[in-house]
Structure 1
Amino acid sequence: MIILAGCQSSQGDAAGGGTAAPAAAEAARERLKAAKAPIAAKVPDSGPMAQPDKSVVLVPCSVASEGCAQPAYAARQAAEAIGWKVKLIDGKDTADSQNAAVRQALTLHPDAIITFAINPSTIRGSLEQAREDGVTVIASSAVQSDLPDFSGIPSRTVWEETGSLLADYAIAETDGDVKALVLHDTGFEVLGARFDAFTGRLEECETCEILESQSFTFADLATAVPRMVQQMAQRHPDFNTVYIDYDYAVPAVLQGLRAIGAEDKIVLGSEGTSTSIASIRHQDGQTATTAVALDWIGWSNVDALNRIFAGESPEPAADALAVKLIDHAVATEQGIEGLWDGDVDFKSAYLKLWGVDRT
């Protein structure tokens, strides 16, 4: 059973009992095995050689957020390795500034633009201008949309796995007795798949509860989210788990929890940023993350773009990415420090795929 509440406190007992909780926990542990193990992902087996003499502009939602910026930095590295001209323009957090960044990119007359974690619907005007100008646009970490030429990296399946595996982790760690506080950022449309997968998996657990769910946006992180977490925790002193959509927001959650002395709680985020992995390794507040190798996102988007330049479908480029559940044991036993690298040397593999001579 799952109980959802908005601003008001909710009362209720989890349904089920008996063997339901242990069975739910065991099923969750089984699903987690592959996600915690070294990943056997790989780059596509085939693809076009690097297309020469191209220029691309990269626009991350905000360079202040590692989850937005790191894939863009990695894409720059990949594009430069191919020999393309590259420029990066900061989207600076807001829809207006992101729209302006894309319009600025268009004045440079590039062959393509890649945006990172920017809703296509919020920059519709500039995307329509790009199409009119004949500039190819890839929207990375965005919902499927007809506005850009491609928006499938990461795939919806990956986004869903990042949410459902976090729910599995909470179910396993509480032996099927999750009592969760949930915070969802409604400003990034693509996060809906992760949020829905997390809450959906908890709905399958008869003995689990969502005590309260609240929404926020990126602009709320500095002050509103810590206060929101504090108030939610005070309304539900029996909570044992806090979920928030992405790692960059976890420090705001921890600030709220520490303000009221709430300790030994399961704190969950997603992305696999270097800050979150350090916190998990050192047991400094965050308990686990579902990581997609951020650098790999950038390189796979360049692979997609190269395929488009070659007149091929970009879809195979989206199939490479995998999700890893990283907690303290995984981080320490597998030696994961800083950013997770995907458990494979994907950069060398892409260069070989593209026919790039590294000597």
Structure 2
Amino acid sequence: MTSVSGRCSFSFFQWRQESAAVRHRIDDRCVKRSTRWRVSVAGAAALGVLASAACGASGPGESAPGGQADVAAAKTAIAAYQGHPSAFPVSEPLSKPLPAGTRFVYLQCSTTACGLIGNLIRPAIAAVGGTLSSVNASSTAQASQAAVSSALALKPDAVIITGIDPSLFGDGLKALSAAGIKVVSLSISKDVKPFGITFNYIGSQLTLQNGKLLADWVIANKGANADVVFYGVPALDFSGPMQKAFEDEMKKNCPSCKVRTDPIGLATIGTTSARTVVTDLQAHPSTNVAVFASSEVAAGLPAAMKAAGLSITTLGYAPTPGNLQDIKDGGLTAGLAIDFPVSVWTGVDAAARLIEGGQPVPGQQAGQVPTQFLEQKDITFDPTRGWSGYPDYQQRFTQLWHPAR
């Protein structure tokens, strides 16, 4: 992964399953710049935030009445994500089964995450009735542009990319689009239109929504007594916007709540991040809630807090199997989980609809992914296998893709 040391921003699919060894290869300047990035994010132009699902006393842009916590609005906002996953993103069947021999190409980067996605894409393509060719796109501009040329020569009906900065392809993705090939990307936070991408599933909408949900969970559980720290990871491209959405929602629904932020270096996750968090909490004894842009920051945290004599409410985004075990054991309080397998299969579904001449369904266009707050009472499954809100997702998609069966 030769280009890691040259970049300081990584998408969800690039980091979600990345190894600790690779993280340590990240250039030190990514960590050293964390504090400066934090200031830059805070001073940036405000990002548009998705309309809240809440129906309460506080309308869009309004603060909680009397400067107190609008707990009712917060509880309403998170209700759809408690006790069950949010809605399955696709319910509309394909207009007709894909023709036999429909060809897909997956441009696979060199990270562990891209390999995992490849393992999920392959059975999805088989289930939809297509054939798949994987082309190694590595993580450099030279390799990515060579890969897209190879993809063009294969004359597929659709090309899928994940975890790769689209600028690395040069004009290659535009060439694919010009040839009538549908180009579908997953989890790219920037505007994809200038690169020739037909459709991007999971963009900034999900990040902003989740930032708000994290804030509303804090308010619903702590009310005006919340004294919260948000541990962002500036090297992750979703962390800054998520932090901004979190801060905005806290200010709107609980202007009297205390909120501070503290950046965590990506290379420290899984090694010293737990000790960093404990040291920070010891320096701020009034803090009663810790929120993590990445739940992986909390790896090893329960033992570290116990050793330090700390007890604090914790909430993290995208908990890992280890985090889920800690929640089950009572060492961590909760996590906002997303359904990784369903998200990958949903991207394949979007590509199939485009091939047929249709458009992605509203749930795909909105970047919807099954999401759920998981607390101790919710871990009734084997946490070592991770979480899926819809364990029957393969059967669900197969019925949508072959409705006559």
TM-score, normalized by the shorter chain, greater than 0.5: yes
Matched, 1:291 2:340: no
Work out the CA distance in 2 between the residues paired with 1:295 and 1:98. 28
Work out the CA distance in 1 between the residues paired with 2:347 and 2:98. 13
The aligned amino acid for 1:330 is D
| 1:265 paired residue number | 312
Work out the CA distance in 2 between the residues paired with 1:247 and 1:115. 25
Say whether the 8 Å CA contact 1:181–1:210 is kept in structure 2: yes
| 2:245 paired residue number | 197
Does the C-alpha gap of structure 1 residues 255 and 289 become closer, same or farther in structure 2, counting only changes over 3 Å? closer
Matched, 1:310 2:356: yes
More displaced stretch, 349-358 vs 48-57: 349-358
Where 2:183 maps in the other structure, the secondary structure is strand
TM-superposed deviation, 1:343 = 4.0
Does the C-alpha gap of structure 1 residues 236 and 99 become closer, same or farther in structure 2, counting only changes over 3 Å? farther
Deviations 1:141-188 (A, max 9, x none): 221422252454225443323222222222233233222222223334
| 2:105 paired residue number | 56
Matched, 1:232 2:257: no
The aligned amino acid for 1:55 is F
Say whether the 8 Å CA contact 1:297–1:321 is kept in structure 2: yes
TM-superposed deviation, 1:56 = 1.9
Say whether the 8 Å CA contact 1:178–1:241 is kept in structure 2: yes
Where 1:38 maps in the other structure, the secondary structure is coil
TM-superposed deviation, 1:102 = 6.8
The aligned amino acid for 1:79 is I
Say whether the 8 Å CA contact 1:165–1:325 is kept in structure 2: no
TM (normalized to structure 1)? Answer: 0.75
Work out the CA distance in 1 between the residues paired with 2:161 and 2:306. 37
Matched, 1:328 2:376: yes
TM-superposed deviation, 1:265 = 1.8
Q: What is the percentage of aligned positions where both structures have the same residue? A: 19
| 2:296 paired residue number | 248
Work out the CA distance in 2 between the residues paired with 1:315 and 1:100. 33
TM-superposed deviation, 1:60 = 5.9
Work out the CA distance in 2 between the residues paired with 1:151 and 1:273. 28
The aligned amino acid for 1:238 is S
Matched, 1:301 2:347: yes
TM-superposed deviation, 1:18 = 12
| 2:73 paired residue number | 27
RMSD: 3.8
| 2:258 paired residue number | 209
Say whether the 8 Å CA contact 2:86–2:371 is kept in structure 1: no
TM (normalized to structure 2)? Answer: 0.68
Say whether the 8 Å CA contact 2:319–2:336 is kept in structure 1: yes
Work out the CA distance in 2 between the residues paired with 1:164 and 1:61. 32
Return the match for 2:168 from 125, 128, 135: 125
Does the C-alpha gap of structure 1 residues 39 and 229 become closer, same or farther in structure 2, counting only changes over 3 Å? closer
Say whether the 8 Å CA contact 2:295–2:319 is kept in structure 1: yes
Work out the CA distance in 2 between the residues paired with 1:310 and 1:174. 49
Work out the CA distance in 2 between the residues paired with 1:61 and 1:264. 40
Does the C-alpha gap of structure 1 residues 241 and 307 become closer, same or farther in structure 2, counting only changes over 3 Å? same
Where 1:176 maps in the other structure, the secondary structure is helix
Deviations 1:270-310 (A, max 9, x none): 124433323322223x3222222111101100011112222
Deviations 1:249-273 (A, max 9, x none): 3317x28954972532222221244
Say whether the 8 Å CA contact 2:144–2:168 is kept in structure 1: no
Structure 1 residue ranges without an equivalent (≥5): 1-5, 8-15
Say whether the 8 Å CA contact 2:148–2:169 is kept in structure 1: no
Say whether the 8 Å CA contact 2:161–2:186 is kept in structure 1: yes
Work out the CA distance in 2 between the residues paired with 1:129 and 1:17. 49
Aligned length: 331
The aligned amino acid for 2:354 is I
Say whether the 8 Å CA contact 1:113–1:136 is kept in structure 2: yes
Work out the CA distance in 2 between the residues paired with 1:30 and 1:46. 31
Matched, 1:355 2:394: no
Matched, 1:153 2:201: yes
Where 1:306 maps in the other structure, the secondary structure is helix
Structure 2 residue ranges without an equivalent (≥5): 1-34, 37-62
The aligned amino acid for 2:350 is A
TM-superposed deviation, 1:224 = 6.3
Does the C-alpha gap of structure 1 residues 232 and 166 become closer, same or farther in structure 2, counting only changes over 3 Å? same
Work out the CA distance in 2 between the residues paired with 1:89 and 1:177. 53
Say whether the 8 Å CA contact 1:184–1:195 is kept in structure 2: yes
Where 1:202 maps in the other structure, the secondary structure is helix
